[in-house]
Amino acid sequence: MSNSREITGRSAAGPGNPTTESSVVPASTRELDELVTHEDVDRARDRWKVTQGRAALARRRRLGRFSGLWLLWLLIGPGVLVFLGENDAPSMLTYAATGARFGVGFFLPFTVLTFLMGFVVQEMTARLGAVTHRGHAELIFDRFGSFWGFFAMGDLVLGNFLTLVTEFIGVRAGLGFFGVRPALAVGGALLGVLGAIMTGRYWTWERITLALALFNGLFIPAALLAHPAWGQVGNAMLTWQPLPRGDGNEILLLLLATMGATVTPWMLFFQQSAVVDKGLQPRDIPAARLDTLLGTVLATVFAIAAILATAPLFQHGINAADFQTAQFAQALEPWIGRFGAALFALGIFEAGIVAAVTISTSSAYAFGEVLHSGHSLNRPVRDAWPFYLTLMGSACLAAGLVLIPGAPLEFIILTVNVIAVLAMPPALAFLLILVNDRELMGEHANGFWGNLGGVSVGLVLVAAGLMFSLATVFPRLLRT
Amino acid sequence: MGTDLTGPETPMSEGKNTLGKQGEPDFQDPRVVLSVLEADQLVAAKRRTHFGRRELSPGIRILFWGLRVYVILMLIIVLLSVLRALHGVS
């Protein structure tokens, strides 16, 4: 790796750093002024709070027994955001479809399993970001070269753009339930994205987006209004019964879509870049793990709530096979009431807008890293305009597509999660090689269990993709 | 999974000589920034230093190419499935 001995800060804690000086900076004040940017200052402010929180926790002073919670509050963010961001409009609609088609049964524990897969993968990206201080795209280009880097970017750009389109479909459909016109709904969502990024501060952006993301919990009251049979829920969780019955092709599509709702390439790129932008360091890895675990648990609970909320449609024999985006909330109204249906519609709207923010940010981070231009939410717009232009440009393009009359929106929704699953194995291969790279990771490299988990997830995804291709080429194979 | 959030103390916790108003250090002083961030967290350091290319073994090359072919084939399959759905062919 190339090296520099010109820039020295606090001693790096691992071999992930190309510069490992530990001495005081031997430079003049003027040189130092030129060295430190606005982005560095903002990040240093956040790090200082963490340092103070850590010191208070060690001394058990200031907030007493709440010091640990205060420190966790400072350090959480990327893990919760990535999982609640991935509980996006197409994902929530996928969960709704499984509830409506198969009720309470196999898909409940299967959803938990897919989130466990997601945790295994995302924990690695958080670790990679905290140790190397580099985004995922940057590391792929640095370590594997631009040939493989552009392939990875191609997968990301295609997947992100299609997913972004589906987020605006969700926004449009969610607000459509309340009679809001599509142009107004989509325009409002774009303003929301713009408002979040215009803060010029990663911390503020993260807290605003986190606050918005917690509204994913709207699916919980919607589920409670559906009066689930808790005994049946417990039984399904333990026995994985009853198994889904019917058209094998449809079941396979929903299996793939459920996997694609928790394990996707954009999540890798987003969380690693967000960890870097937040300024996490190797000593924060336990907190980053907790952050990822918290995100996993919250997203799992909300996803299960979406399944339970739509289970009455299955119980009452309502055929949801041809349901389009907005129709779930309308169809649920007789069973969970107008209020419950409104919560469901608002939940879809929220899922769309939060994911629109996180996914467009993920694209912008990746472009900035590859082009070596400024790519931080701590930078003002004038200093990192290509970053902000990519972010808003991709959002505007996707929003515009949603407003085209007659655009095949339902097909995009159906296939976007499937494409995410199919594009994931190469992304996972890059991740596993990077996180096993001792030159980068040192003592934080993957151990046996991490690799076993990662490889298992990869094999499951490849097997699912191969089954999907067989079922497509031979459609009668799984038909009953 | 470790849950100890404390970690080692850092120099800033003793940085009393650079404290500004309300006990916060003066972040306009670049030395304060440098004392909080790790060396390669600085934007300038990231610009100047890059992790070099790693040697790709034949096994890794085969894996990458295999997965690339897999993705292209799968995208064709997805396209086929979408076209079928559009034309209502089952």
Q: Which domain holds residue A353?
A: 76-473
A472 touches chain B (CB under 8 A): yes
**What ipTM was predicted for this assembly?**
0.81
pLDDT single digits (tens) B13-60: 334 444 455 578 888 888 889 889 998 899 888 888 888 899 899 999
| pLDDT higher than threshold 70 for residue B5 | no
- For residue A229, the model assigns a pLDDT of 93
Q: How many CB atoms lie within 10 A of CB B43?
A: 21
Q: Which of A265, A469, A227 is nearest to A366 (CA)?
A: A265
B77 touches chain A (CB under 8 A): yes
- Whether A80 is covered by a domain: the verdict is yes
Give every CB contact of residue B83 below 8 A, 6+ residues apart in sequence. Answer: none
B72 touches chain A (CB under 8 A): no
Tell me the longest C-alpha to C-alpha distance in chain A: 77
414-443 of A, contacting B, C-beta below 8 A: 414-415, 418-419, 422-423, 425-426, 429, 433, 437, 439-440
A201 touches chain B (CB under 8 A): no
The verdict on a CB contact (< 8 Å) between B77 and A25 is no
Distance CA A258, CA B89 (A): 24
Of B8, B40, B78, the CB nearest to A19: B40
Of A1, A55, A419, the CB nearest to B51: A1
- For residue A95, the model assigns a pLDDT of 93
| pLDDT higher than threshold 80 for residue B88 | no
3-class state of residue A3 by DSSP: coil
Q: What is the number of alpha carbons within 13 Å of residue B19 lying toward its C-beta?
A: 9
Asked if A417 contacts A262 with a C-beta cutoff of 8 angstroms, the reply is no
User: For chain A, how far is it from start to end, CA to CA, in angstroms?
Assistant: 57
Locate the domains of chain B by residue range.
14-52, 53-90
1-30 of B, contacting A, C-beta below 8 A: 1-13, 24-25, 27-28, 30
| pLDDT higher than threshold 60 for residue B7 | no
| pLDDT higher than threshold 60 for residue B2 | no
User: Where are the extended beta strands (E) located within A229-309?
Assistant: none
A294 touches chain B (CB under 8 A): no
Q: Can you read off the two tokens belonging to residue A73?
A: 């509050």
Neighboring chain A residues of B30 at a CB cutoff of 8 Å:
29, 32-33, 35-36
Q: Can you read off the two tokens belonging to residue A14?
A: 């691992």
Question: Would you write out chain A's pLDDT as a tens digit for each of its 480 residues?
Answer: 443 333 444 444 444 545 433 334 445 666 666 678 889 999 999 999 999 888 888 877 656 667 788 889 999 999 999 999 999 988 998 899 899 999 999 999 999 999 999 999 999 999 999 999 999 999 999 999 999 999 999 989 988 998 999 899 889 889 989 999 999 999 999 998 888 888 889 999 999 999 999 999 999 999 999 999 999 999 999 999 999 988 888 888 889 889 988 889 999 999 999 999 999 999 999 999 999 999 999 999 999 999 999 999 998 888 766 666 667 888 899 999 999 999 999 999 999 999 999 998 998 899 888 888 888 998 888 888 888 888 888 899 999 888 887 766 666 776 787 888 888 999 999 999 999 999 999 999 999 999 999 999 999 999 988 888 888 888 777 766
Distance CA A302, CA A347 (A): 10
Residue B52 distance to chain A (closest CA, Å):
4
- Whether A14 is covered by a domain: the verdict is no
| pLDDT higher than threshold 90 for residue B11 | no
- Whether A51 is covered by a domain: the verdict is no
B56 touches chain A (CB under 8 A): yes
Distance CA A237, CA A328 (A): 24
The verdict on a CB contact (< 8 Å) between B34 and A25 is yes
The verdict on a CB contact (< 8 Å) between A293 and B1 is yes
- Cα A460 vs. chain centroid, distance in angstroms? 20
B57 touches chain A (CB under 8 A): no
Neighboring chain A residues of B83 at a CB cutoff of 8 Å:
none
CATH number at residue A221: 1.20.1730.10
Residue A440 distance to chain B (closest CA, Å):
8
Residue A194 distance to chain B (closest CA, Å):
25
Distance CA B90, CA A164 (A): 29
Of A289, A293, A423, the CB nearest to B71: A423
Domain tally, chain A = 1
Q: Best of A54, A291, A292 to disrupt the B interface by mutation (most B CBs within 10 Å)?
A: A54
Distance CA A330, CA A179 (A): 12
- Whether A199 is covered by a domain: the verdict is yes
- Whether A266 is covered by a domain: the verdict is yes
Of A17, A33, A54, the CB nearest to B39: A17
61-80 of A, contacting B, C-beta below 8 A: 68, 71-72, 75
